[in-house]
Amino acid sequence: MNPRQPAVDAKMSLFICMSFCPSEHLVSAISQLVSDFCKIGLRDLDISSRFHMAAHELAENITKYSTTSRVSLEVELSERDGVHILSVKTRNEASPERLKEVERRLQELKLTKDPVELYDRMIEQSAPLDGVSGLGLARIRAEGGLEFDYAIDGNELTLVVQAPVPKPTPPEAV
Amino acid sequence: MSELRLKREVYDKLTLEPVFAGGKLQVQLSGLCDSFAVKPLGAYLDGVAAEIGRLGLSGVAIDVTRLSLLNSSSLKQFITFLRPMKSGDSECKVEFVVDDQNPWQRRCLAALARMCPNAVSLRDVNGGGPGGNPSQRLRYASATPNPTRRS
């Protein structure tokens, strides 16, 4: 999988792309939109809440760490070989130091066989520290149960979180 | 009985409301714990900790049933709040009241129960489910496979 490109043989049934100037004031509105998108498209509160949390954490991260005035967040519901996949993809540019740190974390999260154990360990490690939690990505993987993929091209980070979902119910069928 | 020194507070999209009755303290959170709520939430929980010590409370309930989202930085404020319970410096028990109709609440706060199994429990406001099981692992109620259990 190349996180920078959509799968060529995937059938896309729903897609939203938001490109915006990083602002803390937009984060909750964006994550709520993702949640509503999931609720309408899938009619599954459990999945909607997991993607709501993931979108919120990712939108906070790109807002916090972007070094440019443009970031993006995409939501896509697609079908490939009969499997429906819901994904959230973010793009932002960041400092080399931040990219190095986030790559280390993403590799650890991608490779772990027990995301919950890793998340619990990170909570233990963060407990005595003041300031930012550093738990957002681990939480998406462990609590949200979502898969990660990412690509770094120069200063640009593309991050995808996704999960297989049940076949969407068309709104008119309900 | 000493008067409670906490009061209802509204910070942007988050409302915190204490109820003190029969020697029991419950704090209800309503709205949204986003980045704007992090510092006020931390300060409020400092106040709760102070009241636990001043009033000698053996337990406190945190009701999140009216909360729509808790970001990781806000979760970190609860981790900080629970440090004395985890270290054994405080014997106070903390019960998180969740609504299992909103599955994210139990999933999110289960991490705190795993971190602090002797002091933290979870209870479904509707009375259902195995609330308060500190060893509970994440469960996936939907048709989505649990990626943490894939080979």
Single-letter residue type at A67:
T
**A171 token code pair:** 């709104």
Interface contact A126-B86, CB threshold 8 A: no
Task: List residues of chain B with CB under 8 Å from any CB of chain A.
Answer: 13, 32, 34-36, 69, 71-73, 75-76, 79-80, 83, 86, 101-104, 107-108, 111, 114-115, 137-138, 140-148
Alpha-carbon gap, residue A46 to B140, rounded angstroms? 8
Q: Are A161 and A87 in contact (CB under 8 A)?
A: yes
Give me the interface pTM, i.e. the ipTM: 0.90
Alpha-carbon gap, residue B42 to B73, rounded angstroms? 10
Residues of chain B with C-beta less than 8 angstroms from the C-beta of A136: 71-72
Q: How many CA atoms lie within 13 A of B63 on its CB side?
A: 14
User: How close does chain B come to A4, measured CA to CA in Å?
Assistant: 22
Kindly list the domain boundaries of chain B, sorted by start residue. 9-143
The 8 Å CB, 24+ separation contacts for A72-75 are A72/A17, A72/A18, A72/A19, A72/A20, A73/A17, A73/A18, A73/A20, A73/A30, A73/A34, A74/A15, A74/A16, A74/A17, A74/A18, A75/A14, A75/A15, A75/A16, A75/A34, A75/A37, A75/A38, A75/A51
**B11 token code pair:** 């910070």
**Of A93, A91, A86, nearest in space to A73 by CA:** A91
Q: Options 3.90.400.10, 3.40.800.10, 3.30.750.24, 1.20.20.10; which CATH number does B9-143 get? A: 3.30.750.24
Interface contact B71-A136, CB threshold 8 A: yes
Whole-number pLDDT of residue B141: 34
Residues of chain B with C-beta less than 8 angstroms from the C-beta of A128: 83
Q: Are B105 and B99 in contact (CB under 8 A)?
A: yes
Provide the whole-model pTM.
0.88
Q: Are B112 and B95 in contact (CB under 8 A)?
A: no
What is the pLDDT tens value at each position of chain A, 174 positions in all?
Answer: 566 565 555 676 788 999 999 999 999 999 999 999 898 888 899 999 999 999 999 999 999 999 999 999 999 999 988 999 999 999 999 999 999 999 999 999 999 999 999 999 999 998 888 777 789 999 999 999 999 999 999 999 999 999 999 888 766 654
